[in-house]
């Protein structure tokens, strides 16, 4: 859902929500995990309703237009008339992120693929800004569960960053939301404890 308004510019603070640091990794798609015997069971969002995600001011025919982005954890009727650009779980899914509803993620209850490992996470940081291009930063807390040992074998936070011309919340492809997520996943795959391609 899209909400836009002309507002005074607010500072774009990437550190407002925290975020793991380090160089941007090469992007890795969720589909490529099957070659590592890993099932991506999903990601839940760990951000409060109304969380400020950033803002962008871009030139327009009438001067400058500032778009303020916020997280919409609980979509309510009045959100449809908000003067801000609200992003909800369905918007992230439209961009291709494996985001689930709710706040809890179970690694043992439910239906899973026949793989040794199950990967899940919490998206705890999302920042949107940029000038001529969108600039998106994402932070994810990952957990990798080993079904053979019934234990978590890897827990790590990674960050992702991407620039592009489309956000992706309307299903555009390629898009900056998915590209940022895939670089966060790429940072996890580089961990020596992550299963190798074709490995057990």
Name the average pLDDT for the chain: 86
Three-state SS sequence of 56-112: EEEEECCEEEEEEEEECCCCCHHHHHCCCEEECHHHHHHCCCCECCCCCCCCCCCCC
Kindly state whether residue 5 falls inside one of the protein's structural domains: no
Supply the DSSP symbol for 41.
Answer: E
Whether the per-residue pLDDT at 10 is higher than 50: the answer is no
Domain that holds residue 181: 14-189
Kindly state whether residue 182 falls inside one of the protein's structural domains: yes
Kindly state whether residue 156 falls inside one of the protein's structural domains: yes
Cα-trace Rg, the chain: 18
Q: What average pLDDT does the segment 13-27 reach?
A: 50
What is the per-residue pLDDT for 200?
59
Kindly state whether residue 111 falls inside one of the protein's structural domains: yes
Kindly state whether residue 52 falls inside one of the protein's structural domains: yes
Split into its structural domains, the chain has a count of 1
Give pLDDT tens digits for 90-100. 999 999 999 99
Give pLDDT tens digits for 64-73. 889 999 999 8
Kindly state whether residue 3 falls inside one of the protein's structural domains: no
Give pTM, 2 decimals. Answer: 0.84
Kindly state whether residue 200 falls inside one of the protein's structural domains: no
Kindly state whether residue 197 falls inside one of the protein's structural domains: no
Give pLDDT tens digits for 105-160. 999 998 899 999 999 999 999 999 998 899 999 999 999 999 999 999 999 999 99
């Amino acid at each position: 859902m899209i909400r836009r308004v002309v507002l005074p510019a607010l500072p774009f603070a990437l550190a407002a929500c925290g975020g793991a640091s380090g160089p941007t990794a090469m992007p890795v798609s969720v589909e490529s995990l099957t070659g590592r015997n890993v099932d991506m069971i999903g990601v839940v969002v760990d951000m409060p309703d109304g969380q400020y995600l950033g803002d962008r001011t871009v030139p327009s025919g009438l001067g400058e237009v500032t778009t303020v982005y916020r997280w919409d954890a609980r979509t309510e009727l009045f959100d449809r008339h908000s003067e801000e650009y609200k992003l909800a779980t369905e918007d992230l899914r439209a961009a291709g992120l494996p985001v689930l509803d709710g706040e809890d993620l179970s690694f043992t209850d439910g239906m899973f693929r026949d793989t040794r490992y199950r990967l899940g996470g919490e998206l705890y940081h999302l920042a949107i800004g940029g000038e001529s291009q969108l600039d998106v930063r994402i932070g994810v807390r990952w957990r990798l569960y080993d079904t053979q040992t019934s234990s978590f074998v890897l827990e790590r936070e990674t960050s992702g960053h991407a620039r592009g011309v489309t956000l992706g919340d309307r299903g555009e492809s390629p898009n900056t939301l998915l590209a940022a997520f895939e670089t966060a996943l790429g940072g996890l795959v580089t961990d020596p404890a992550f299963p190798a391609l074709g490995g057990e």
